Amino acid sequence: MASPTAAGPPDLSVVAPARDEAENLPRLIADVEKALAPAGFAFELIIVDDGSGDGSREAVRACMAERPWLRCIALRGASPKRGGGQSAAFCAGFRAARGRWVAGIDADLQNDPADLPAMLALLERSGADVVQGDRSRARRDPLVRRAGSQVGRLYRRLVLADRVRDTSCSLRVMRREVALALPLELAGSHRFVPALARQLGFRVTEMPVAHQPRRAGRSKYGLGLARALPGLVDGLGVRWLGRRRRRVVFDEVER
């Protein structure tokens, strides 16, 4: 594989949506560098600024000078009053990615970049198209959020027949073609990446990953009905999309 500083497209693109994560971003960048620089392949980290009002973009710029693999893109139209949302941020980051493998990660430091090399190795070894992180054995969130996740998991099993244990974990690695095919223009679709990938005919496997408590900043997710109802509606939308999707194949007609 190429070295981390090799010219040309990287092997791995890591995409991290960020909204008001200025306190966490320097640590995230350092952790990604520590995890991937010794791995022996070229990589890039793309921070997607979703209308931050706390200086997140400036925090990334301050880290760019000596890191040619670090990029920052900004969602057009997003503002401190109203962001584009995590689905849109992942969608933009995946489209901007240049790697043949693409990873997603949260910017709040709750995902550990040290898991990425093992996930990438599993992707290649297993022949899967997506390796989905599973935090369920190491979840470091409050009890209320963990309980909500359990309810969401049961709902996805019933509505989507989705047996992935932790489908909402942002830490995942996939082949480039998967990242570009996911319909993340749909609001809320980032919650259903494994189900959407399987609808498209891709193979998904899971791997246990670490989970860390939030050290700084504020969670963007609410609790109760304000968070649950959009997820319920979005799940029905994903089921409808899967039932309406048709596999299109064709053959070239010989002259």
**pTM, 2 dp:** 0.84
Domains of the chain plus CATH, in order, are 12-243 (3.90.550.10)
Which helix (H) or strand (E) segment holds residue 15: the answer is strand 12-18
Q: Please state, rounded to an integer, the average pLDDT across all residues of the chain.
A: 86
- C-alpha count within 13 angstroms, C-beta hemisphere, residue 146: 11
In this predicted structure, what is the pLDDT of residue 221? Answer: 57
Question: What pLDDT, in 10s, does the model give residues 50-98?
Answer: 999 999 999 999 999 999 999 999 999 999 999 999 999 999 999 999 9
User: Could you give the CA distance from residue 87 to residue 185 in angstroms, rounded to a whole number?
Assistant: 7
Structure tokens at 132: 């989905």
What's residue 3's pLDDT? Answer: 44
More confident residue, 127 or 148: 127
Largest CA distance in the chain: 66
Q: Which amino acid is it at 214?
A: R
